[in-house]
Amino acid sequence: MKSEFILAFNEICESRGLSKDDVFDALKTALVSAYRRDMNVSNLQEVVAEIDARTGEPTIYAEKEVVETIVDNRTEVLLENVRQLLHPASENGDPQLGDLALVDSTTASFGRIAAQTAKQVLLQRVREAEREQLYEDFSGREGELVNGIVQSISGQHITIGLGRTEATLPKSQQVRGERYRAHDKIRVYVLEVRRTSRGPQIFVSRNHRNLLRRLLELEVPEIYNGQVDLKSIAREAGQRSKVAVMALQPGVDPVGACVGMRGVRIQSIVRELNDEKIDVIEWNPDQKTFIAKALSPARVSHVFLDDHPDDGKTAIVVVPDDQLSLAIGREGQNARLAAKLTGWRIDIKSLIESATDSLEHLDHPAVDAAVRKDTKFLDQIQAILDKKAAGRPITSEDYFTLDRLVSAVEGNIITARSSKHEEIRQKRAEARKQVPAIAWELPLDELDLPGRIHNLLLDNEIETVGAVLFTLALGDEVFLNFRGFGDKALETLKEYVAGYELPKPEGEEADIVAADEAEETASVEGEEIVQEAVVETAEPPAEVAAETTKETVDIEKPVEETPTVETSPDEVEEEPAIPAIDDLSQPLVQIKEKPKKAEKPKPTVVIARPARAE
């Protein structure tokens, strides 16, 4: 039959959700505190409590001095009794007089005050263990969905009951238009878990876009199993969301899997989000196609991409006039969600507006000359625009004609602009390679520039020596475009840069630089040796010279009779074409050993000042 201690112990573990080890530690700490309070011993004296896991019997061991005669039984123990009372795991198995030993000091009972102290310590330790357990449980659930019950509502937040603890739904994470009432069941997204002295503080959300991601994973087995991937989500909570999905397994329809038969799957998510509209779009690696689908349900005529190195990515979208309001959406919502979903800034234009702009840009160099010379085609375009201005209906053939003009004019202009942007990016990449890596770590103060120039550079976000060198490599016009930065300031900057020496890199970078310098030195010395060998060549005897001349004549035959072998310049220098001289009495070439040169000091990296324009 189980003891009352074991029954109470198991009840605490189950009700509090704690492990047995945590509760045992709390009990041991409580017993030690009760013993110290009851016996009034010092905190410097070591006291250890042990509990039998089967019977629940406690044993308290206290550190005492081994003596022959006891004066204070709280700190002393007799020599003849120490071996019977010694702790089983004691390091000193045979203590002698004057030694300190852990001995059994269990009392029959504690006083009222000591028992109260043990109770308080036990409750405190149990609460701390419970808080730590709750924190460990919920910190691992960040980014997951949890079910809760609305407990209280205030102006700033809503308290959600999660069983053993509570969560806070801040006003910023609530969905505008949703109404919450006490005791309502609610599904929320765990946003953050903080550790506090009063236990874990949990913040949840209802308007986070990952809430929609988790709902789709729960409702769509193909997403959970990895057959369908959620590429991106754009959400305006309570109103509308767009989801881009892609199939990872052949034969799977990603949009159909998310929608479900007769829309069963998507409708359950819509109900959970209080009738929030959800558009499911198939992701496409072709950005033009993806942007056109992201603007659905609007029909798109053309998509032109312009990736500017400074202003970012912009997509110019051309739609028919009757689709313009649908593509933009109510208060720009459809275009805004499409921009979030694709990562491109979207500029929507009507077909008539785009055709009008194309007629004005016919003189652009990127436009094909054949389009400018086709007067019949241009007159037809003008007639269509006049018809539209007069309010008369336009046929589908007229729209097709306008499409041709927009594609031939505006499409070519944007393509040429994109090519220039690509050249700028390549130029910047080459300029960045010319700047040593250590220069990016040096602050602008290293150049010791005049205060005005220093402030002008900081105002234009040039804060390191590497940024100065990089901008100089791009050209003088970059600095001259800065407000207040003139030719004189540019010349002063170049003088300071020319007189500055970069420090040598340390660690692995220094080893790499030293290896490169050693390789360059070796190549230079090899070239000097080859040149000296050529200069010190001795004149051959007459008969040898005649034979050599003869053989040379035989070698120099027409190209069509002798096959050509391509070699690198290094191979030509190392193995020159000289006839075999094994049977000659004297060598043709005499190479003297080059005396060893004194070690040259390692070169210092110096930034050369660019030549001034005359």
- φ, ψ of residue 303 to 5 degrees: the values are -135, 120
Sequence-distant (6+) residues with CB within 8 A of 17 are 130, 133, 164
pLDDT grade, residue 329 (50/70/90)? Answer: very high
Average pLDDT over residues 163-178: 89
Average pLDDT over residues 282-288: 94
Q: How far apart are CA 338 and CA 319, in angstroms?
A: 15
Domains and CATH numbers, the chain: 4-131 (3.30.1480.10), 140-207 (2.40.50.140), 288-417 (3.30.300.20)
Residue 566 pLDDT > 50, yes or no? no
Reported as type and span, the H/E element at residue 290 is helix 287-294
Sequence-distant (6+) residues with CB within 8 A of 4 are none
Residue 298 pLDDT > 80, yes or no? yes
Residue 523 pLDDT > 60, yes or no? no
Residue 159 pLDDT > 90, yes or no? yes
For position 174, what pLDDT does the model report? 92
- Whether this model's pTM surpasses 0.75: no
For position 187, what pLDDT does the model report? 93
For residue range 389-401, list pLDDT tens digits in order: 888 888 889 889 9
For position 294, what pLDDT does the model report? 94
Residue 185 contacts residue 117 (beta carbons within 8 Å): no
Q: How far apart are CA 388 and CA 173, in angstroms?
A: 48
Q: How far apart are CA 102 and CA 87, in angstroms?
A: 6
For position 605, what pLDDT does the model report? 35
For residue range 6-39, list pLDDT tens digits in order: 677 677 776 666 777 777 788 788 888 888 887 8
For residue range 491-522, list pLDDT tens digits in order: 999 888 888 888 876 654 545 544 555 555 55
pLDDT grade, residue 265 (50/70/90)? Answer: very high
- CA neighbor of 300 nearest in space, from 270, 342, 261: 342
Residue 541 pLDDT > 80, yes or no? no
For position 530, what pLDDT does the model report? 41
Mean of pLDDT over the chain: 79
Q: At what angle do helices 209-219 and 264-272 cross, to 10 degrees?
A: 140
For position 529, what pLDDT does the model report? 46
For residue range 423-480, list pLDDT tens digits in order: 888 888 888 888 888 888 888 888 888 888 889 899 888 899 889 988 888 888 888 8
Average pLDDT over residues 72-82: 79
Average pLDDT over residues 238-256: 93
- φ, ψ of residue 239 to 5 degrees: the values are -120, -65
Average pLDDT over residues 246-275: 92
pLDDT grade, residue 240 (50/70/90)? Answer: very high
Residue 572 pLDDT > 70, yes or no? no
Share of the chain above pLDDT 90, in %: 30
Average pLDDT over residues 532-547: 42
For position 372, what pLDDT does the model report? 86
Average pLDDT over residues 82-101: 75
For position 124, what pLDDT does the model report? 77
Average pLDDT over residues 270-286: 93
For residue range 92-128, list pLDDT tens digits in order: 667 778 778 887 777 777 767 777 777 777 777 777 7
The region of weakest confidence among 99-103, 311-315, 321-325, 345-349 is: 99-103
The region of weakest confidence among 47-61, 114-128, 354-368, 497-511 is: 497-511
For position 4, what pLDDT does the model report? 63
- φ, ψ of residue 443 to 5 degrees: the values are -70, 165
Query: What's at 288, amino acid-wise?
Result: K
Residue 73 pLDDT > 50, yes or no? yes
For position 582, what pLDDT does the model report? 41
**The three-state (H, E, C) secondary structure of 458-485, written as one string:** HHCCCCEHHHHHHHHHHCHHHHHCCCCC
| Structure tokens that stand for 124 in this block | 């405190």
For position 612, what pLDDT does the model report? 42
pLDDT grade, residue 595 (50/70/90)? Answer: very low
For residue range 192-221, list pLDDT tens digits in order: 999 888 888 899 999 999 999 999 999 999
Q: Which residue has the higher pLDDT, 87 or 302?
A: 302
| Beta-sheet strands, E only, within 209-350 | 228-236, 240-247, 277-282, 302-308, 312-319, 345-350
Tracing tokens 């072998």 back to the chain, one arrives at 565
Q: How far apart are CA 88 and CA 102, in angstroms?
A: 9
The region of weakest confidence among 163-172, 255-264, 528-537 is: 528-537
